[in-house]
Each structure stands twice: as C-alpha cells, then as structure tokens.
C-alpha cells in the first residue's frame, strides 16, 4: 500500500490529460479554446462557471504546455509524495481555481475582454504549498530549503512579469491560494502531532 503512495499518480494523470487535450486542440482548431478559455463575459455575464476549471487544461503552444507540464510533473511528484494523492489533487485544483478567480476579478476591474488559458495558476499554487511546507511543517524535505524555494518563486514571478501574453493575476492568485491551503494543512498536522 505504501508503494502506491510513493508513485506520482495524480501528477502523471494531470500531465496525461493536459497532453491529450492539447492534441485534441491541434485537431479541432479553435473550437476547444472558444469553449473553454477564461474570459469575463462568458463567466460573469453568461454564467459559464466551469470555464474556471476547463481553462486549466488548455495551452496555447508547445512551449506553453512543455513548461507547465515539466514543472507540474517534477514539483508535483515531490509534493504528492509528501502530502498524499487526495490532498495533492485538492491543492492543485484549489490553486487553479483561486488563480483563475483573481484573473477574472482583474479582468472585470480593468474591462479586459481577453481570454486566458493554462495550468500555470495551479502550478504556481504548488510553489505556494511548498513554501508553506518549508515554513510551517516542522520537518525537513530532502534538497528543499527556504532560499531555494524563494528563488524558484521569485524567478517564476519575474519570468511572468517580463513575458508577453502572461496572466500574472492567475499566477499570483494561484501562489497565494496554494500558500494559504498549505499553511492550513501544516497547522492541522502540527496540532495533531501535539495531541
């Protein structure tokens, strides 16, 4: 049973689903993008709330999906091993939803009609979970230190802020959501250990 816990089942499944959707997009043209991209009009006015989740599985090009899936698999596998499959999946989707909600809020405030796609809000959320674990879990993880995690987060944010066509609100929203969710988990775990 412990052997199954060690395997990155959720990370691998998420990567596989994203790759399958990307291949489908290459055959269907703009159809899936039109149906799933995150834009304020479709969600807020037309009530298509599932776009908040569907957009997490859409990517614009090979570079976009490669970067997100590479980080998702390796960082995700490490976190999944530490927290378990169910908590990991919960963190991933909470972060993605949190990132997309902040993105929507910013689009509404600024009147931005553009649509957003990609899993990077959820991936940034994993950075936030890892930061919370380093700060509050009270246990050491191999090769994971606070300076390394902060450097990784800083570099990721810097890349987004200096890039073009990047939804930085989704990144910040995902990072914040992941950090808060990870902090709550760490606090409960420490309380349980004390009891």
Partnered with residue 141 across adjacent β-strands are 144
120 is catalytic: yes
From the candidates 11, 95, 103, 171, which is the catalytic residue?
Answer: 171
Coil, helix or strand at residue 172: helix
Whether residue 10 contacts residue 88, with contact meaning beta carbons closer than 8 Å, is answered with yes
- Is 171 assigned a catalytic role? yes
Q: What would the DSSP string read from start to end of 70-95? A: HHHHHHHHHHHHHH-HHHHHHHHHHH
Q: Using CA atoms, how far apart are residues 169 and 175, in angstroms rounded to an integer?
A: 10
CB 124 within 8 A of CB 171: yes
Q: Using CB atoms within 10 Å of the CB of residue 57, give its burial: 0 to 12 exposed, 13 to 18 middle, 19+ buried.
A: buried
**Which of 103, 116, 120, 137 is labelled catalytic?**
120
Task: Show which residues are catalytic.
Answer: 120, 171
């Amino acid at each position: 049973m412990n052997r199954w816990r060690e395997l990155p089942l959720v990370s691998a499944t998420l990567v596989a689903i994203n790759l399958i959707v990307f291949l489908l997009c290459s055959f269907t043209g703009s159809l899936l993008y039109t149906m799933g991209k995150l834009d304020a009009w479709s969600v807020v006015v037309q009530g298509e709330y599932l776009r908040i989740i569907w957009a997490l599985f859409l990517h614009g090009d090979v570079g976009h999906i490669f970067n997100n899936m590479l980080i998702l698999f390796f960082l995700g596998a490490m976190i999944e091993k530490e927290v378990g499959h169910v908590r990991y999946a919960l963190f991933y989707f909470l972060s993605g939803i949190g990132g997309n909600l902040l993105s929507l809020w910013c689009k509404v405030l600024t009147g931005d009609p553009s649509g957003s796609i990609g899993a990077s809000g959820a991936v940034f959320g994993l950075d936030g979970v890892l930061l919370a674990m380093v700060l509050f879990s009270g246990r050491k993880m191999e090769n994971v230190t606070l300076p390394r995690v902060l450097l990784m987060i800083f570099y990721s944010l810097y890349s987004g802020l200096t890039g073009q066509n990047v939804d930085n609100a989704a990144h910040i929203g995902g990072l914040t959501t992941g950090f808060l969710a990870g902090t709550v988990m760490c606090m409960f775990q420490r309380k349980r250990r004390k009891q």
